[in-house]
Structure 1
């Protein structure tokens, strides 16, 4: 059984079709990144998957159940974790108290101290929430999302505001969850985060899936032309180069080629014969960010119908 199945999903708000017949599947134990600009349909899609919003058409299965069926909500609540952007806990509670209280909502929660260590809050277990840094509060929010030992975890922008060290620490936590068998659906605006964590990427734009695949292959990354760039050797005219440059100026030469191996062989052989160095030589394929921008353009979109704050309030009612 797949962890998530979305088939022909549609949702309209008056004259705006926020989700226009999308489909994708998430297998158990995968980390899947759902990417897209504002207005792409991510929030609406997630709210439907989380059971917070009804759909107009299509089939949705979460752990084999329909999140739109009220009779299934308690079952799903005990098996699905949510980590949204805003923390919603009492600031004067201590870290361990906060996590232990949340553990009481679930029939078979994980060990509280084990979760504290998993998210890297061991030294802050007795600190009050109000005294935590922004990154530490985000780790607490992650702890609240996993204390119920979810089979499926939704992570909404998990490292927003983190410094580079804290971000990589959070990545290790997410990988650890995947290794323990948790399926993770991640939204992020950081392409390096999607590259580092995701087994699969789904890109939405204007309510439609415009690409789906691994970070290495999505959007044809694995077959795209390779860009080779190096400093222009002194005294070398463009026609003296062993390859035809795509772009050349006073300081640099750029090539875009299908056969990177052959081009590099010709370049390096030519340079060795002349006794010339190819300074600042780089070889690049399109980055995930390049592909993402080509798929989504400059679409800023329109704000989606439901705000993060409203999702947080619904989460609180759900936990209660």
Structure 2
């Protein structure tokens, strides 16, 4: 495995919150790493499950944080949801929109007619997050879905990260309609394929690399789409989550941040590591140090590689020596 991680890919699909920024600030190294991707002529797509904002608003937010971005570089689950509708409905069909004005704009952009009420005889319902969604909106959607309307959810993220903490996300509202209708929607956002496929297609690319911090959306989406994946440890999921990951949520690479894009691919690849020795037995996993390697992330890659060959789920990890113990403590695995 030679060359940088970036080589061999023609577009980098980047999750936003937890990968490119956290709260109101860019993640360290994000701006430099992304600008270096562009400098090599490789396209970037910022891929978000957020269906409440237009691409221009997302690009403006990134620019305001210090990372210049163009609307064409943004792919949202609202766009993906509209694309799913357009594939299944004739032009001019009415769609009941449960969501923001941005979602209505995306529905209109694909030649469909956004409506608000059942009396307008919608052929489909599309549902995306909006803080203004009320019982009345869900009631109209419930009746339409029970009447046979096609139902598309932009995503099923149950919670939404905010400065006040985790609040109900689109998935919570989708769950309410599932319970009320006994139906299941088509889902456009991560980890389902439509959003990632749309983002890749918008770049005219064929060899995408997905980068994200969440195993259950970013990485599982990449696995389902058959594309390369890098997990960064700047957001939600931890080394312990990675070690316990089910096969469908396992990335090929893991690194501290986006800087890994420009380092040797072998450096972040999850496989056996020369600096560490790992043994799996009935009591769990034992990590020991070989000479010279104090890189704690290489220890994580070694432990994951060994455990994943034997099983999945949480596992006890113990140290065989002081250096291994220090590495496990730093990783939160001790």
Pairwise same-fold verdict (TM > 0.5): no
TM-score grouping bracket, smaller chain normalisation: 0.3 to 0.5
Larger relative contact order (CA 8 Å, sep ≥ 6): 1
Q: Which has the larger radius of gyration?
A: 1
- TM-score (normalizing by structure 2): 0.33
- TM-score (normalizing by structure 1): 0.34
